[in-house]
Amino acid sequence: MNEHETKADETLDPADWNELRALGHRMIDDMIDFLARLRERPVWRSVPEEVKQKLREPLPEEPQGLDRAYLDFIENVLPYPTGNLHPRFWGWVKGSGTVEGMLAEMLAAGMNCNVSGFDDAATLVERQAIDWLKQLLDYPIEASGLFVSGASMANLIGLAVARNTKTSRDMNARERSDLLGKMVVYGSQEMHASIDKAMELLGLGRSSLRRIAVNERFEIDVSALRSAIVEDRRRGLSPIAVVGNAGTVNTGAIDDLDALASLCEDEMLWLHVDGAFGVWAKLSTTDRERVSGLSRADSLAFDLHKWLFVPYEAGCCLVQKPDRHREAFAFTAEYLPPVRRGPSAGGVPFAEFGPQLSRGFRALKVWMTLKAFGRGRLARMIDQNLGQARYLCERIDADPRLEMMAPLSLNVVCFRFVDAALSAGELDRLNTALLFELQEDGVAVLSQTRLRGRVSLRAAITNHRSRREDFDHLLSQIVKRGPVIAARRNQEIRFE
Ligand SMILES: Cc1ncc(COP(=O)(O)O)c(C=O)c1O
C-alpha cells in the first residue's frame, strides 16, 4: 500500500474554525471578567493541595482538546495567581499589567514573529517603540536598544558591552584572561542581586564587584567610591565600570547620577544605570530632575513590566554607542549570510545586539501600551503612585504605632509596626509575623527587607489599580493586628 494515497497530511490548525472561534471569544470574555473583578478577590491565596496534585498529572499521550485544557486552566490555574494584579499588592516590585497589554500579547502570539532582523513590520515596531522610549527618557536618540526579558537581562547586556569595550579584539587568550582577572566593577551596597549574577556570567566573578557604602538616604557615597577606585588602581587592578541606581530595590533610592557620570568621565569608566523601575520618575512632575543624569549613562537598563504597566516579560537595554553594543554580540554564520533581497534583508539585526537569536514580539505590547495610553496617561499613573507613597508616609508619620524605616525617596515605603515594650528582636519577629498574616489572609501583599539590620515592611507602589482607601485599609489592619500579635509575644511567633 502506498502511504501517500492513504493519509491526508495533518496540521495542528482546527478542523472547525468556527468552533475554535467561539472558544476563543469565551476565553477573552472570561479574562475580561476576571480582570474587571480583581478587587472582589483575596489579594493572594495559596494553591490547595488537591490542585497541586492535579498539576502533577502525567503528560497526556492522546489529545485532550483545547476545551478540556481550557477547563483545567479555569479550575486549576486562573484562581491561584501571584496576586500582583490586585489593587492591594505592593510586594517586591511587581507589575500590575493592563487589559490592553493582555490583548497585545495575544496579537503578538498570533503573529508569532521571530524578531531577529527580518524585513518585517515587527522589526519596525520594535525600533519605533525603542525610539519612543528614548524620547520618554531623554536618552540620546542615536543610541541602540533591545527588548529583553527584564532588567536582569538588561543589566547583563550593559555590563557585557562595558567589559568588551575595555578589552581588545587583538588580544590573545592569555592577555584577555589576565585583563578579565583584574577588572573591577563598582556600585552601592544597595545594588540589585542581578548585578552579582551578571558578574558571574561575564566571567568577572562576584568578588570583583565592589559594594560601596551609602549615605543616610541609601545613595552611593561618591567620595568613598572615588577612594575605592584609587585604591584598586594602586593595587594594579583595572576598574572598568560603575553601576548607578535609579531606584534601588530596597528603598527606591536614586544615586547622584550626574556625580557618577562626571566621575566616570574623569576616570574613563563605563557608567551603567540600573533603572529597573526608577527611570519612570522621568515621567513625573515631582521627581523627573532627580533622574536627569541617566541620559549621560553609557548603558541603561529598565523594565516596562514594573512601572510602565506592560505585562511580563518586558525589559530594555539602551546603549549610547551602537557600534560598541553591536560589537559585543555581532556574529557571522554561513547559514545567515548578509543579503540584499528576501525576508532577511533590510531588517535591523536585533540578534546582533544581545545573546538571543530567536526573539519574540514583546515589542508589540510596549508599542500598543504607548499608543493606547500616550505619555500623558502613563505619566499621570506615575504621579498617582508617587502621591500615594507620600500619603502612606504621612499617615505613618502621624501614627505613633508606626515608624518609617527609610526616608521616602520615590515609590517604595519602608516602615513597621512599633511597640515600646518589645525588644528589637521581638519587633523583627512581630513585623515578619504581621507580614505573613496580611498575605495569608488575602488582605494585602507587602514584602520585607532588612535595613541597617532591622526587619522592615516594604510597599513598592507600582500599581495603577490602587486607591487611597487601599492604603487606609492596609494601615488600619496593621494597627489592629499588630497589638494582637504583640500580645502573643511570650509564645513562639511564627515567622519562617
Ligand atoms: C533595581 C532593580 N534592578 C533589577 C531588577 C531585576 O529586574 P527583573 O526582575 O525585571 O529582571 C529589579 C527587580 O525588582 C530591581 O528592582
192 within ligand 1 shell (Cβ under 6 A): yes
**Does 418 lie in the same domain as 329?**
no
* 189 shares a domain with 281: yes
pLDDT of residue 454: 97
pLDDT(312) > 80: yes
Q: Are residues 432 and 319 in the same domain?
A: no
Residue 18 has pLDDT above 50, yes or no: yes
Find out whether the beta carbon of 84 lies less than 6 Å from any atom of ligand 1: no
Based on the domain organization, do 168 and 87 belong to the same domain?
A: no
Q: Which of 298, 330, 361 is the last residue in one of the domains?
A: 361
Residue 171 has pLDDT above 90, yes or no: no
**CA–centroid distance, residue 152 to ligand 1 (Å):** 6
Residues 357 and 381 in one domain: no
pLDDT for 368 equals 98
Q: Which atom of ligand 1 lies closest to the CA of 275?
A: 1
Q: Are residues 232 and 92 in the same domain?
A: no
Pocket lining: 274 vs ligand 1, CB cutoff 6 Å = yes
Q: Work out the average pLDDT over 177-192.
A: 96
pLDDT, average across residues 359-368: 98
492 pLDDT tier (thresholds 50, 70, 90): low
Contact 457, 485 (CB under 8 A): no
C-alpha span between 78 and 30 (Å, rounded) = 10
What pLDDT is attached to residue 4?
57
Tell me, yes or no, whether 151 lies in a domain: yes
Q: How confident is the model at residue 140 (pLDDT cuts 50, 70, 90)?
A: very high
pLDDT for 395 beyond 70 = yes
Read off the pLDDT of residues 232-271 as tens digits, 9 standing for 90 and up: 999 999 999 999 999 999 999 999 999 999 999 999 999 9
Q: How confident is the model at residue 490 (pLDDT cuts 50, 70, 90)?
A: low
Ligand 1 pocket: which of 192, 214, 362 to mutate (most atoms within 8 A of CB): 192
Edge-first strand listing for the sheet containing 447-451: 402-404, 412-417, 454-460, 447-451
Give the residue from 361, 393, 417 where a domain finishes. 361
CA of 188 from ligand 1 middle (Å) equals: 15
Q: Are residues 198 and 127 in the same domain?
A: yes
Can you give the pLDDT at residue 3?
A: 55
CA 480 to ligand 1 center in whole angstroms = 33
Q: Is residue 472 part of a domain?
A: yes
- What's the 332 CA to ligand 1 centre distance in angstroms? 32
Structure confidence at residue 496 (pLDDT): 42
How far is the C-alpha of 234 from the C-alpha of 120, rounded, in Å? Answer: 52
Residue nearest (by alpha carbon) to ligand 1 atom 12: 276
| CATH number of 118's domain | 3.40.640.10
**Residue 62 shares a structural domain with residue 160:** no
Same domain, yes or no: 404 and 307: no
317 CA to middle of ligand 1, Å?
13
pLDDT above 80: residue 159: yes
Domain annotation covers residue 10:
no
Query: Tell me, what's the pLDDT at 332?
Result: 85
pLDDT the model gives residue 158: 98
354 lines ligand 1 (CB under 6 A): no
Nearest to 389 by CA among 468, 474, 452, 447: 468
Q: What is the pLDDT of residue 77?
A: 98
Task: Assess if residue 3 is contained within a domain.
Answer: no
DSSP state of 172: -
Q: Are 385 and 468 in contact (CB under 8 A)?
A: no
**Do 437 and 301 have their domain in common?**
no
**In the predicted model, what is the mean pLDDT of residues 34-53?**
97
Burial of 109-140, coded b for 16+ CB within 10 Å and e otherwise, reads: eeeebebbbbebebbebbbbbbeebbebbebe
User: 93 CA distance to ligand 1 centroid (A)?
Assistant: 8
Q: Ligand 1 pocket, 151 CB below 6 A?
A: yes
Tell me how many domains the chain contains.
Answer: 2
Q: Is residue 201 a part of any domain in this protein? A: yes
Share of the chain above pLDDT 70, in %: 97
181 and 312, same domain (yes or no): yes
Asked if residue 108 belongs to a domain, the reply is no
Q: What is the mean pLDDT of residues 44-54?
A: 98
Q: Which atom of ligand 1 is nearest to the CA of 152?
A: 11
Q: Is the pLDDT of residue 7 over 90?
A: no
**Residues 415, 407 contacting (CB under 8 angstroms):** no
Please report which confidence band the pLDDT of residue 167 belongs to, taking 50, 70 and 90 as the band edges: confident
Q: Which of 361, 395, 412 is the last residue of a domain?
A: 361
Task: Give CA–CA dist 483/496, Å, rounded.
Answer: 20
Domain harbouring 444, CATH code: 3.90.1150.170
40, 58, 95, 51: which is closest to 73 by C-alpha? 51
Is residue 20 included in any domain, yes or no? no
Q: Model pTM?
A: 0.96
Mean pLDDT over 40-52 rounds to: 97
SS (HEC) of 312-350:
CCCEEEEECCHHHHHHHHCCCCCCCCCCCCCCCCCCCCH
| Mean of per-residue pLDDT scores for the chain | 95
What is the rounded average pLDDT of the residues 385-404? 98
275 in contact with ligand 1, CB cutoff 6 A: no
Task: Give the pLDDT of residue 495.
Answer: 45
Across 362-377, average pLDDT = 98
Do residues 383 and 483 both lie within one domain?
A: yes
pLDDT (0 to 100) of residue 42: 97
Residue 491 pLDDT exceeds 70:
no
Amino acid occupying residue 192: H
Share of the chain above pLDDT 90, in %: 90
Can you tell me which atom of ligand 1 is nearest the CA of 306? 10
The protein residue with its alpha carbon nearest to ligand 1, atom 2, reads 276
Which residue's CA is minimally distant from atom 7 of ligand 1?
Answer: 151
Tell whether 7 is covered by a domain: no
pLDDT at position 116, please?
Answer: 87
Domain around 170 = 113-361
| Nine cell digits for residue 281 | 520618575
Q: Over 80: is that where the pLDDT of 147 sits?
A: yes
pLDDT tier for residue 170 given thresholds of 50, 70 and 90 = confident
